[in-house]
Amino acid sequence: MSFTAKDILQREVAPALGCTEPVAIALGAAAAASLLPGREVDSLEIWVDPNIYKNGIAVLIPGTGGLCGLDLAAALGALGGDPARKMEVLESIDQGTVARAQELIQRGAVKVNLLSQRGLHIKTVLRSGRDTAESEITHSHDHIVSLRRNGREVKDSPLLADRDEGSTDREQLENWLRNQSLGCFLDLLDDLDSEDFEFLEQSVTFNLRLAEYGLKHGPGLGVGKTLDRLVRQRLIKKDMMLAARMLTSAAADARMAGVKLPAMSSAGSGNHGLTAVLPIWAVKDYVESDPREVLRAIALSHILTSYVKTHTGRLSAVCGCSVAAGAGVAAGVAYLLGGDLSHLAGAMKNLIQDLAGVVCDGAKAGCAMKLATAAGSAVQAALFALQGVNVQPTDGIIDTTMEQTAHNLGTLSTQGMMETDRIILQILMDKVSS
């Protein structure tokens, strides 16, 4: 079986309102609640894997006025989320929903449990009178694999994974992605059609809207707005690397602060989507570029972000915005600047050598700093590769080919950093309990 660029974009790139981990929790709760008459909820209990816990515990939730929490995400989804909107499930909540969710939490009716096993997994159980409703999400954030009402499996719900007409099997797609060459991904760009270009333009529109909000208002840490201020004060100079850092971090500032604007996510992460798109959009203003070539570069960035994620895992101890989306956008920038296959591979390896050690310590306002680093380093990695500066295959985890380098990165992420991930989680849990 083989896949097209359209298959990958349709499966791996989608709008997401808020950080995808609390949103996935809300989606699971909303899906379960849809099985209950009147959606009355007496209590709810969720079980999440360690990485969902890590990435969802401290990030602000859109539409709540600056609140956070896994329990709150679950309660919001159950009481007012629209599961048909998938990763935009919280678009429908209002202040009344927030108040009812807080009341549910305050009376001890929401319980959060931590699963021991790794791998994306969310289980939700709701109780309403004598009725119970359950949902289970695995593998990816909107992949609902099971719904049950009063212990009986619900098989005919349109919310269940892979029931939509024309949908592709995620595991088959990931297996295929993992085993392709960089040249194969480059060839996929030849098949982009008008529908694909329109979708890619939409991904720019979504993510640019967040960046513009961040630059104007400086929410969260205000990293993007601070960089802009430093330029205006002539303390630093704006070049294409700084432009990429400003635009990308400003969008992350807005998203991590819970601004109620959707991001176009990539490989299951809104911040990956910001990193995959916005540096390319910033670079285009410094070079001669055809609009279609800019969109092709963005498509390549999305595809390669998903490719690297098949090696590192959907959620891991390494920062995916740095090593996965960073590597993808480094190749996208190299492509936009006229690079060939060797330049694309060089750009990705340069980026991985630079940022492979960046850990993921959960989603929070500080992610804007990491996205700033990833965006600037990606542009630098591409420029270096185009000038013949390439990390040698004898260096660290870098190997002769990009494909083997991705495999090595995956080994580091999934095996080498398991203890790192455990310690990060323990630190976060200790902070919550203190």
For residues 51 and 138, what is the distance between their CA atoms, to the nearest angstrom? 13
* 364 and 400 co-located in one domain: yes
- Mention every residue, 6+ apart, whose C-beta is less than 8 A from residue 3: 168, 173, 176, 177
Q: pLDDT by residue (tens digit) across 362-419?
A: 999 999 999 999 999 999 999 999 999 999 999 999 999 999 999 999 999 999 998 9
The pLDDT of 102-126, averaged and rounded, is 95
Q: So what's the pLDDT on residue 162?
A: 65
CATH number at residue 51: 3.30.1330
The pLDDT of 71-96, averaged and rounded, is 97
Residue 165, in any domain of the structure: no
Other CB atoms within 10 A of residue 109 CB? 16
Residue 139, in any domain of the structure: yes
* 312 and 388 co-located in one domain: yes
Q: Which of 303, 321, 422, 416 is nearest to 377 (CA)?
A: 321
Which of the listed residues 153, 171, 202 is the one where a domain comes to its end?
A: 153
Which of the listed residues 110, 137, 153 is the one where a domain comes to its end?
A: 153
Tell me the sheet residues that pair with 16: 263
Residue 158, in any domain of the structure: no
CATH number at residue 241: 1.10.4100.10
Residue 293, in any domain of the structure: yes
* 74 and 125 co-located in one domain: yes
* 230 and 88 co-located in one domain: no
Total count of residues recorded for the chain: 434
* 219 and 101 co-located in one domain: no
The pLDDT of 267-278, averaged and rounded, is 97
* 119 and 205 co-located in one domain: no
**Contact call for residues 275 and 308 (beta carbons, < 8 A):** no
Examine the pLDDT at 65 and tell me if it is beyond 90: yes
For residues 282 and 277, what is the distance between their CA atoms, to the nearest angstrom? 9
Residue 194, in any domain of the structure: yes
Examine the pLDDT at 195 and tell me if it is beyond 90: yes
List of E strands, 177-276: 263-266
* 253 and 360 co-located in one domain: yes
For residues 429 and 70, what is the distance between their CA atoms, to the nearest angstrom? 13
The pLDDT of 13-28, averaged and rounded, is 97
Q: What pTM, to 2 d.p., does this model score?
A: 0.95
Q: So what's the pLDDT on residue 316?
A: 87
Q: Which residue range(s) make up the domain with 50?
A: 19-153
List of E strands, 38-138: 43-48, 110-114, 121-128, 131-138
The DSSP line for 47-58 is EE-HHHHHHHSS
Residue 173, in any domain of the structure: no
Tell me the sheet residues that pair with 153: 148
**How much is the mean pLDDT over the chain?**
95
* 391 and 342 co-located in one domain: yes
* 233 and 330 co-located in one domain: yes
Q: So what's the pLDDT on residue 291?
A: 97
Q: pLDDT by residue (tens digit) across 314-364?
A: 888 999 999 999 999 999 999 999 999 999 999 999 999 999 999 999 999
Residue 1, in any domain of the structure: no
Q: pLDDT by residue (tens digit) across 154-185?
A: 999 999 986 544 444 778 999 999 999 999 99
Examine the pLDDT at 94 and tell me if it is beyond 50: yes
For residues 27 and 19, what is the distance between their CA atoms, to the nearest angstrom? 12
The pLDDT of 238-252, averaged and rounded, is 98
* 188 and 302 co-located in one domain: yes
Residue 74: phi and psi, rounded to 5, are: -65, -45
Q: Report residue 383 as tokens.
A: 């420029």
* 411 and 328 co-located in one domain: yes
* 265 and 336 co-located in one domain: yes
Number of domains the chain is built from: 2
Q: So what's the pLDDT on residue 165?
A: 40
Residue 168, in any domain of the structure: no
